[in-house]
Structure 1
Amino acid sequence: MATNSYLFVILANCTIKFIMKATSFTNSSLIHHRLYVYLLFFFSLGAFACQTSQGETKDKTNTDTSKTAQINKPVNEVATPLFVVTGYSRELANISQDSLSQLYCAGKVYVLAPAKAKADRFFKCTNGKTLPDLKAFAKLAKNALMVTDIDHLIAQYKALNVNGTSFFEAPTKYPLIDQSEGSTPFDYAKKVTKFTLTGVTAITRNTGLAADAKGPDFLIEKVKHHFQNSDLVHISNEVSFDPKCVYIKYDPRYKFCTKERDFKTLIDLNTDIVELTGNHNKDFGSTPYKLTYDWYKKNGMKTFGGGLNEQQANTPLIIDLKDGKKMAFIGYNQACPIGECAQGTTKSGANRYNREKARKLLQDLKQNKKIDIVFASVQFTEVDSYKPHSKQIKISYDLLNFGADVVYGSQAHQVQEIEFYKGKPLFHGLGNFLFDQIHRVGVRRGYFLHHYIYGGKVVQSVPVYTWISNERRPVIATKAQADAIKKLIFPDRLIYKW
């Protein structure tokens, strides 16, 4: 357009000059004739310039409109998994998508306010039964359902399967995904970390004799498949191996040891993290402890809650999660009843609990090191009860108040209650995982946990219930056995509060 206008101006000037000359040097009739011709030429050029300008303006308008459309184009969203949650004491474990849709649109289920827009879009209706925050659902969870999204999912509420599918077991088949046109699929493999946490492991006495008779593979044969797709596996091992170890049946004077051969079970369970808060790791002294500690390192297993000296025992284990967030583990022994704790620069063992020491460590992890999630473990003094003792509760609350995100007791041979404290999970005791006790029902019951971690928090903790069989090994609990455990560890007074 600029070039055409410039040419037009030049031609116009030339025309005017020519007319002026014609006026000066020609007779009247000739002047009138020539003036008519040049004026016609002048206006023709003007019309041409206007047409060109209008065409270019139209092209520019189209270009500007196209650019505006690109600017206003919606940002490429990421698909969001939605969940329907309830309380852990409920038998309900599955719901059909059709049933959920009807309930949602009829206002018979709650929806969390931050997830409402996506849920309304997914179910194609407006739900008016909105809860402002997760705390508001705590007292309702026993008898109600709530829809939320993965960004507002917490371990306190049990996520139901939908159409028989768990998002955490089969994310590509899970139906409740809010995915608008052109949105990016939710990348489960890069965003969700599966961490498996277990109870007491002590391969000794009769469990060791079972390994002598049938090999170490026999010990984990019935549970091994649950550990094959975990990203991280934790074992709280309470016994060191000794080259001179001999297994015997129960004897109150017997000190605990393991044969190195039987540590193959830790490898086969894909163990990544070994907790050293236990009471019996130094039953045979410092040499077996050091041999075992070196074995862990040689086999790529990281440790926490114990070490070769006091400082090392108190050093947290920090791990990078799949989404780039950071998770830390700290561990303690409450009482060190048989002198098993580390001291000074030369004595190895477990990390002795001290309230102020724990407070400072958690403060450093959260405020200075910016750790997203901290698991805190304590080997409490043992009690044969499904309920935790008062000192145990006090220490656990302290750790949660100091900044821990999950607290669990690693001491419990008898499974203990689960509690949610200010929205944080507190597992008072997971029971025996790999130990020989079968003399009463309480010590045969146990569970391990699949923690699913997303966005720097535990969004679900799924228990798998176990039973120590007559063959002195863990097996998956029957439905009746699992139901009995659930009734004991999920009391209403502890799970429907905030």
Structure 2
Amino acid sequence: MQNQKVNKTKMSNIFYSVLLLMFLQSCAQSQGENQKDNVAKKAQEETTAILAVTGFGVERTSIPLNELKDLYCKGEVYVLEKSQKRVSQIFGCKNTKILKDIQDFASLAKEKILLLDLENANPQFKALAIDSINFFQNPEKYNLYVLGEEKKKFEFQSKITKFTLTGTTAITRHMGRATSANGMDWLIANIVNEVKNSDFLHVSNEVSAKDNCEYVSGMRFCMKTEHLEVLNKLGVDIVELTGNHNLDHGKDPYTQTMQWYKNNKMQVFGGGLTPQEANKPLIINTKDGKKVAFVGFNESCPVRECAGKGGNNVGAAPYDSVKVAKTIKDLKNNKEISYVIVSVQFDEVDSYSPTKSQVRITKYLIDCGADFVYGSQAHQVQQVEFYKGKPIFHGLGNFLFDQIHRLGVRQGFFLHNYFYNGKIVQSIPVFTFTAIERRPALANSEEIKGIKKVIFLDKNLYQ
């Protein structure tokens, strides 16, 4: 009898514990929903830009405001449901071509235009200039805003963070000799104005420095310590260390170069002085108070360049699918992290198309939760792809490297990415072409056309 009472008491306690747990979960869910609603409501109350977007690879770059208004009122452009009220407020008419989800526009983007507010933009769709003025390049003169309740201007400088991603850097061999002969300012003269105003400038530096480095031919790379100053002249903030050649001259140059980065207030990721440091994510703060995580890995460590492999304690972080999945999961579960960027130094291939391994791994990374994925290995520029609405830049090509022996390695681009409210809302490529004298230059119109033709494929951009 006494046992029955004890069991009954236990069952009662369990019952009330379950009820309490369900109540707490309900409160937490309700609180989370309320927070989302509050964020959405706040976005509706603040001044924002309205963007006219089209496909990432579309040639058109601008549309007159009068033409856009006419098309909207005739129902010949689309509008995102979340943005319809604000867009109609500007144009004074209604439009029935409403899309509930931005991804519904993917298959239409090559031919059509979608209107939405800045909060709902993403990198898959290119924002057109209005009357030849691009919001991301000249916000002061941009003229398509919806004023918030307080009628204040949109505070671009405090709300938008510009992060510039570049391709392969290795100032060595012919480029090193040319820099010694002509100077560091000469090396970057054609590109410095395009990157110096970034809030965060990234390079993937594949070589370590030493004072007695000699710029000789071959595949064993180093750079002169004095030439690290090129990174300061460019305004570099973030150095990626996933590359293959950072340990070509051993541990000491690597360690000394790491100290130089630290002394010059440059943050690193994808490599380190211990395996733990190499695998540690880099966290940066955007100007509007959000946190963005970077992690980077080397796919196969072909020249013993990885920390924790081949007897090395220093070097790049080796790729491992289980480790990477856990890293991304941990970052996504961290409520302070708004966005996760993942880089992989894949095995090099002389092709505009990614390898099967690249395709498999990049999509796996997004399936794991990555928001933005790119390959840091490519000396030859490679295709751009969007998977589940998220960008994959398979390879940006050379940024600062001496290769000119064929067309593919001379072509390249760097990428201006604009963060707003914890995510990238726009990615704008700037195309480059390595000159005969072994320094980068901005690509001309024909060179740009040639690059786009091989990396902007409809099957990758509009699905």
Instruction: With the length of structure 1 as denominator, give the TM-score of the two structures.
Output: 0.83
SS at match of 1:372: strand
Contact 1:77–1:183, Cα closer than 8 Å, also in 2 = no
Does residue 269 (structure 1) correspond to residue 234 (structure 2)? The answer is yes
Query: Cα offset for 1:384?
Result: 0.4
Q: 1:318-337 to 2 correspondence within 5 Å?
A: 318-337=283-302
Q: 199-208 or 484-493: which moved more?
A: 484-493
Query: Cα offset for 1:184?
Result: 2.3
Tell me how far apart the structure 1 counterparts of residues 308 and 341 of structure 2 sit (CA, whole Å): 23
2:161 counterpart residue number: 193
2:462 counterpart residue number: 496
- Look up the equivalent residue of 1:266 and give its one-letter code: L
Tell me how far apart the structure 2 counterparts of residues 128 and 76 of structure 1 sit (CA, whole Å): 21
Stretches of structure 1 that go unaligned for 5 or more consecutive residues are 1-73
- 1:143-186 residue CA offsets vs partner (Å, 9 max, x unmatched): 00110110110100010001111111111110110126742221
Tell me how far apart the structure 1 counterparts of residues 356 and 126 of structure 2 sit (CA, whole Å): 28
Contact 2:351–2:382, Cα closer than 8 Å, also in 1 = yes
1:128–1:304 distance in 2 versus 1, CA, 3 Å: same
Tell me how far apart the structure 2 counterparts of residues 376 and 247 of structure 1 sit (CA, whole Å): 32
Q: 307-316 or 183-192: which moved more?
A: 183-192
1:476 counterpart residue number: 442
Does residue 155 (structure 1) correspond to residue 111 (structure 2)? The answer is no
1:469–1:106 distance in 2 versus 1, CA, 3 Å: same
Contact 1:335–1:353, Cα closer than 8 Å, also in 2 = yes
SS at match of 1:461: strand
Q: 1:219-234 to 2 correspondence within 5 Å?
A: 219-234=187-202
Q: 1:300 aligns with which of 265, 268, 287?
A: 265
SS at match of 2:223: coil
1:346–1:336 distance in 2 versus 1, CA, 3 Å: closer
Q: 2:66 aligns with which of 86, 98, 101?
A: 98
Does residue 419 (structure 1) correspond to residue 385 (structure 2)? The answer is yes
Instruction: With the length of structure 2 as denominator, give the TM-score of the two structures.
Output: 0.89
1:362 counterpart residue number: 328
1:233–1:474 distance in 2 versus 1, CA, 3 Å: same
Does residue 183 (structure 1) correspond to residue 157 (structure 2)? The answer is no
Tell me how far apart the structure 2 counterparts of residues 185 and 355 of structure 1 sit (CA, whole Å): 46
1:338–1:182 distance in 2 versus 1, CA, 3 Å: closer
Tell me how far apart the structure 2 counterparts of residues 75 and 403 of structure 1 sit (CA, whole Å): 25
Tell me how far apart the structure 1 counterparts of residues 450 and 52 of structure 2 sit (CA, whole Å): 25
- 1:366-391 residue CA offsets vs partner (Å, 9 max, x unmatched): 10354111110000000000000011
Tell me how far apart the structure 1 counterparts of residues 46 and 172 of structure 2 sit (CA, whole Å): 50
Aligned length: 421
1:141 counterpart residue number: 109
Query: Cα offset for 1:220?
Result: 0.6
Q: 1:78-477 to 2 correspondence within 5 Å?
A: 78-179=46-147, 182-248=150-216, 250-251=217-218, 254-343=219-308, 347-368=313-334, 370-477=336-443
SS at match of 1:330: strand
Tell me how far apart the structure 1 counterparts of residues 252 and 56 of structure 2 sit (CA, whole Å): 45
- 1:438-466 residue CA offsets vs partner (Å, 9 max, x unmatched): 00000000000000011111100000000
- 1:308-348 residue CA offsets vs partner (Å, 9 max, x unmatched): 01111000000111111100100000000010000189710
2:13 counterpart residue number: none
- Look up the equivalent residue of 1:299 and give its one-letter code: N
Tell me how far apart the structure 2 counterparts of residues 130 and 75 of structure 1 sit (CA, whole Å): 20
**Which structure: larger Rg?**
1
Query: Cα offset for 1:433?
Result: 0.4
Tell me how far apart the structure 1 counterparts of residues 221 and 272 of structure 2 sit (CA, whole Å): 19
Contact 2:297–2:345, Cα closer than 8 Å, also in 1 = yes
SS at match of 2:174: helix
- 1:85-124 residue CA offsets vs partner (Å, 9 max, x unmatched): 1112221100111111111111110011000000000011
Query: Cα offset for 1:216?
Result: 1.4
- Look up the equivalent residue of 2:356 and give its one-letter code: S
Q: 421-430 or 74-83: which moved more?
A: 74-83
- Look up the equivalent residue of 2:443 and give its one-letter code: A
Root mean square deviation of aligned Cα: 1.5
SS at match of 2:209: coil
SS at match of 2:452: helix
Query: Cα offset for 1:394?
Result: 0.9
2:24 counterpart residue number: none
Contact 1:77–1:184, Cα closer than 8 Å, also in 2 = no
Query: What is the identity percentage for the equivalent residue pairs of Structure 1 and Structure 2?
Result: 50
